[in-house]
């Protein structure tokens, strides 16, 4: 499945216990053609784990943030994230995973408060932000318009062509994961075809979002070439050329080069 290219997983929770032990897994990633993995933060308890692991494994690119499912009960906990992100700004490639979820997590007002704080932090540190959006694309678009200049990625994008174009217009990349492999995801595949390739990123969201057609109890970053193949077929693009573009996109967003 691997071609003459290397891929970057723009969203992988490799710090979750389901993916341990990391050494053999990262060896398998390299053999599969995965050269780097962006590891978002999700909670107060896991805040430092992506950064700590990146000290041991340089192919991991750490982020820091609070996922809408795992928001701290006390707003004062934002100070912990703020302090950590500022102290390690030189190492972190992004703020997040932040965002909104219509179906899971605390009430909308609480989610929006935490999203606003993390957008402000990304703005202050001049970092991209990794955004989760489930059933909330319209509301998220309206909020992002209040933060001109903030850039980032809509992780695991699943939406319409119009929604895709709105996010791109605001300077946000679209993360392409296991959804593109699903037989039922025609709307999302159609949307991806309307977006210039320079606005797309590959991701697995491992251990979640196991691609359709693969066996297993959880997803793995080793499956990234499978997703790349599905996206290449969706876009009718040369796999090698597309891989070069997607990896360049990830470096441009997360490393500024």
Beta-carbon contacts of residue 254 (< 8 Å; ≥ 6 apart): 10, 38, 61, 93, 94, 128
Is 67 labelled as part of a ligand binding site? no
Tokens of 60: 């991991």
Beta-carbon contacts of residue 230 (< 8 Å; ≥ 6 apart): 180, 181, 211
Is 120 labelled as part of a ligand binding site? no
Backbone angles phi, psi at 10, to 5 degrees: -80, 0
Is 205 labelled as part of a ligand binding site? yes
**Given the structure tokens 């796999």, which residue do they identify?**
239
DSSP state of 241: H
Is 97 labelled as part of a ligand binding site? yes
Question: CA dihedral in degrees (58, 59, 62, 67; nearest 10)?
Answer: -150
d(CA 149, CA 168) in angstroms, rounded, equals: 12
d(CA 34, CA 77) in angstroms, rounded, equals: 34
Backbone angles phi, psi at 127, to 5 degrees: -115, 150
Binding residues for a divalent metal cation: 11, 13, 97, 132, 155, 205
Annotated binding site: 11, 13, 97, 132, 155, 205
């Amino acid at each position: 499945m691997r071609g003459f290219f290397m891929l970057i997983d723009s969203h992988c929770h490799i710090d979750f216990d389901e993916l341990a032990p990391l050494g053999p897994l990262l060896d398998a990633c390299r053999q599969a053609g995965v050269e780097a993995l962006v590891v978002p933060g999700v909670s107060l308890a896991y805040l430092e784990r992506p950064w700590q692991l990146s000290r041991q494994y340089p192919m991991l690119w750490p982020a820091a943030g609070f996922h809408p499912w795992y928001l701290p009960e006390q707003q004062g906990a934002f100070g912990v994230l703020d302090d950590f992100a500022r102290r390690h700004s030189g190492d972190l490639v992004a703020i997040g995973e932040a965002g909104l979820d219509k179906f899971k997590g605390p009430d909308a007002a609480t989610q929006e408060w935490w999203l606003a704080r993390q957008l402000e932090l990304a703005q202050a540190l001049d970092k991209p932000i990794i955004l989760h959006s489930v059933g909330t694309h319209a509301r998220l678009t309206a909020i992002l318009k209040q933060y001109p200049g903030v850039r980032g990625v809509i992780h695991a994008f699943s939406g319409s062509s119009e929604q895709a174009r709105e996010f791109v217009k605001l300077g946000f990349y679209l993360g392409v994961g296991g959804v593109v492999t699903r037989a039922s995801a025609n709307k999302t595949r159609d949307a991806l075809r309307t977006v210039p390739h320079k606005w797309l990123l590959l991701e697995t969201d491992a251990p979640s979002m196991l691609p359709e057609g693969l066996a297993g109890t959880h997803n793995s970053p080793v499956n990234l070439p499978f997703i790349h193949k599905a996206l290449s077929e969706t876009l009718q693009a040369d796999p090698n050329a597309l891989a070069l573009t997607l990896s360049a996109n990830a470096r441009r967003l997360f490393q500024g080069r």
